[in-house]
């Protein structure tokens, strides 16, 4: 499939239309170092209304703009409480909430050290189902962000996650070019865009 070259702002507007313009779960994934977190925060900063960035793992140390609420998830109990926190916030404010849930699988992966794998997977699925129901009930888009499996270039637990997300977007960097593709449930590209890495980095550094 031929890729369509875009300028950074045009790409960000395209991504907002894909993942933040309507309720439901969307997935943003790719290898490490592909600007997933920076792009996600940039998307949040470009929409109006109430915005929540959910940080897990190393991302709890990030500083986010004052216009974005930071929810630090330190373990799977925080993850499982997240849908209820978001529903409370949406009820209190009476408006939709735009949510980015970064490295959403991190705490669940860590819990495999002290919980049975079946319990962990069921907990993850329950969390995602509750997030989907929150999204539908409060017309609030939720973007899941995750690093792909390093050997197969797929999102972790894709067979499970694919049943719950409506949009999947992959981001990768190739020789100074950032390649972004919207994909179907089989991870076949539906649309592909490219942008200069240097130009994108400049925009992300100065939102």
DSSP 31: S
Distances (CA, A) of 14 to 81, 144, 185: 31, 17, 20
pLDDT, position 160:
92
Distance from C-alpha of 200 to C-alpha of 61, rounded to nearest angstrom: 23
Containing 59, the helix (H) or strand (E) segment is none
**Number of continuous H segments (helices) and E segments (strands) in the chain:** 7, 9
Instruction: Give just the sign of the alpha carbon dihedral 127, 133, 135, 137.
Output: negative
107-158 residue pLDDT tens? 999 998 999 999 999 999 999 999 999 999 999 999 999 999 989 889 999 9
Please state the pTM of the whole predicted model: 0.95
Start-to-end CA span in the chain (Å) = 31
Angle at 95 between CA 93 and CA 97, to 5 degrees: 95
50-83 residue pLDDT tens? 999 999 988 888 889 999 999 999 999 999 999 9
156-165 residue pLDDT tens? 999 999 999 9
Q: Is the pLDDT assigned to residue 41 strictly greater than 90? A: yes
Query: At which residue do the structure tokens 């499996």 appear?
Result: 149
Mean pLDDT, range 186-206, rounded to an integer: 95
DSSP 107-164: HHHHHTTTS-HHHHHHHHHHHHHHHHHHHHHTT-EEEEEEEPPTTT-S-TTHHHHTTT
Half-sphere exposure of 75 (CA within 13 A, CB side): 6
CB atoms within 10 A of CB 130: 18
């Amino acid at each position: 499939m031929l890729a369509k070259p875009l300028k950074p702002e045009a790409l960000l507007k395209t991504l907002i239309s894909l993942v933040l313009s309507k309720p439901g779960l969307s997935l943003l994934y790719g290898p490490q170092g592909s600007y997933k977190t920076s792009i996600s925060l940039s998307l949040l900063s470009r929409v109006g209304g109430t915005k929540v960035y959910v940080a897990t793992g190393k991302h709890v140390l990030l500083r986010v703009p004052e216009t974005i609420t930071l929810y630090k998830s330190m373990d799977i109990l925080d993850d499982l409480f997240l849908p209820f926190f978001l529903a409370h916030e949406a009820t209190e404010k009476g408006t939709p909430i735009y949510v980015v849930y970064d490295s959403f699988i991190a705490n669940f992966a860590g819990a495999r050290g002290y919980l049975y794998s079946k319990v962990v997977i069921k907990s993850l699925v329950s969390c995602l189902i509750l997030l989907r129901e929150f999204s539908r009930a409060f017309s609030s888009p939720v973007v899941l962000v995750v690093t792909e499996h390093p050997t197969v270039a797929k999102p972790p637990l894709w067979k499970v996650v694919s049943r719950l997300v409506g949009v999947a977007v992959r981001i990768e960097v190739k020789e100074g070019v950032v390649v972004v593709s919207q994909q179907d449930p089989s991870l076949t590209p539906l649309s592909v865009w490219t942008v200069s890495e240097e130009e994108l980095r400049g925009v992300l550094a100065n939102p």
